[in-house]
Chains A and B, each alone.
Chain A
């Protein structure tokens, strides 16, 4: 299987501080990878480099074999690299239906009749209805996002990302801030992601990481210190020192 997503020797420094050091990751279709690391490990910088919001000092990002390093965020989305957001960044005055219709229209390039009624495109609306059903959002399809529950907003983010039919999906803490009662829905949505989609999840919640990921990458001080199975990650001495130690401390303090 040819890799769908490759990061090769990525480097980035702010001033004299190296925040990303020689990071290389290869992912195949269907991969479920969790990217973890203590605060300040450089996860956010890494995501910004990959999505095109930051330019690397050196290194490459490849999507399906194509070098996209020089492209901005929007063309990368068009090529199938889609990111959901850590902080809810939906459009508060728009409905879930409008969100998804927009995403589907953008993906399919069905924006020719821009002054036509957006609901007039039957194929677009059929796909929107299907996404709403899959994520259990159909009953709130025409409510403004500002009025729906936080857990539903997070589900809509996933729906929105799926509407773009990504090849690679970056999920930034999909369950953060969601009430305990709603997390099963999020996890069900994650479990139901298309099987050929490569998913890279940035996550703090280790329980979720162990349930979701089949591979874990640990970032510390901008460099990868571990890349392997979830079973092995807890046994790795460097990881314990860099990450799980502070995680365990957090736990015992909480």
Chain B
């Protein structure tokens, strides 16, 4: 019965495509937020559990800028990224600088402490409610791709992920700053003896990392809503991306995000009653097979 199988096939193709787009958008949002964590953990060797807190700060600032101050979406993104970096500078100077090279447990306790303080302060200042960041008109509707239409904000998230991946690769592999960063990472003492001011290199890297967290927090707000316990709720998810991808590896993080995004989205679609079971099952399997992550740097 060719007439019946045609629409059926068509419908399942539509479903696959729909899940695929959702997975890609979710994966890219994870990537934009987590890649900064991959940089701090892989390159600067700091287990920064407070990374999500900076994404949350970005989200709160953007929400405040749009809802209360009436700024446009683009301005709000810029204000949030800059604002988060400004907040992060003294935090790096006075708190993180103490834990570079410290035992991992010390780093974990310090950054968990920072996370809870950020949650407390954010909720005290802005109130313990879900924060929304209204999308501009252009990102609100669907985009017609000819064969089907897709939510514009998902395409935007995907485009942001691609842009961030490309820009970061160029920054680390090709620029003067990237050469300094890689030198500082490989051998800080040697880099310093060449005259590289490693503290500044670390501070700039940290600023880039939290700036990306803030940017990802806003761009991904439709998929990972900005709420009072955001920093805690997604802490493990961001860590998973880094450990699965391999700390410090941009292609690794990208691969991990696409893979985990696909598993999570498919799982939720096909077997919603299992929650995140398949996501974490996949994490366990990957960590067993690739203890350094899919594309981890040599230690």
Contact = CB atoms under 8 A, between A and B. Distances in A.
B186 A91 contact: yes
14 contacts: A74-B192, A74-B193, A77-B194, A77-B195, A89-B187, A90-B190, A91-B187, A94-B182, A94-B183, A102-B194, A106-B195, A114-B175, A115-B175, A115-B176
Contacts of B180: 102, 111, 114
A58 to B, nearest CB: 25
A115 B195 CA distance: 18
Interface in B141-192: 171, 174-180, 182-183, 186-187, 189-192
A92 B175 contact: no
Interface of B is mostly: helix
Contacts of A115: 171, 175-177
Contacts of A91: 182-183, 186-187, 190-191
Interface of A: 51, 73-74, 77-78, 83, 85, 89-94, 98-99, 101-103, 105-107, 111, 113-119, 160, 164
B93 interface: no
A111 to B, nearest CB: 6
B175 A116 contact: yes
Contacts of B190: 85, 89-91
| 8 closest A-B pairs by CB | A91-B186, A106-B195, A114-B177, A89-B190, A118-B176, A102-B179, A114-B176, A91-B183
Interface residues of B, number: 23
Given A115-B171, A118-B176, A73 B193 contact: yes
Contacts of B176: 101-102, 105, 111, 113-116, 118
A73 B188 CA distance: 13
A164 B192 CA distance: 13
A216 B298 CA distance: 42
A36 to B, nearest CB: 24
Contacts of B187: 89-91
B171 to A, nearest CB: 7
A74 B195 contact: yes
Contacts of A73: 192-193
Nearest to B197: A74
A77 B191 CA distance: 11
A103 B194 contact: yes
A23 B282 CA distance: 64
Given A115-B171, A117-B174, A102 B183 contact: yes
Nearest to A84: B193
B175 A117 contact: yes
B189 A160 contact: no
A90 B190 CA distance: 7
A119 B180 CA distance: 14
Given A74-B192, A92-B186, 12 more contacts: A78-B195, A85-B190, A94-B183, A99-B183, A101-B179, A102-B183, A114-B180, A115-B171, A115-B176, A118-B176, A119-B174, A164-B194
Q: Which of B174, B179, B182, B191 has the most CB of A within 10 A?
A: B179
B193 A83 contact: yes
Nearest to A83: B193
Interface of B: 171, 174-180, 182-183, 186-187, 189-197, 297-298
Nearest to A109: B195
Contacts of A106: 194-196
Nearest to B183: A91
A169 B171 CA distance: 33
Q: Max chain B CB contacts within 10 Å: which of A83, A93, A116?
A: A93
A102 B298 CA distance: 22
B172 to A, nearest CB: 11
Nearest to A118: B176
A119 B186 CA distance: 21
A53 to B, nearest CB: 9
A119 B187 CA distance: 22
Nearest to B196: A106
Contacts of A85: 190
A98 B179 contact: yes
A101 B175 CA distance: 11
Contacts of B177: 114-115
A99 B178 CA distance: 12
A93 B186 contact: yes
Q: Which of B180, B191, B192, B195 has the most CB of A within 10 A?
A: B195
For A99, A102, A116, which residue has the most chain B Cβ atoms within 10 angstroms? Answer: A102
A115 B244 CA distance: 29
Nearest to B190: A89
A34 to B, nearest CB: 22
Contacts of B194: 77, 102-103, 106, 160, 164
B135 to A, nearest CB: 30
A169 to B, nearest CB: 13
Contacts of B189: 89
A33 to B, nearest CB: 21
B268 to A, nearest CB: 38
Nearest to A91: B186
A8 to B, nearest CB: 23
A73 B178 CA distance: 23
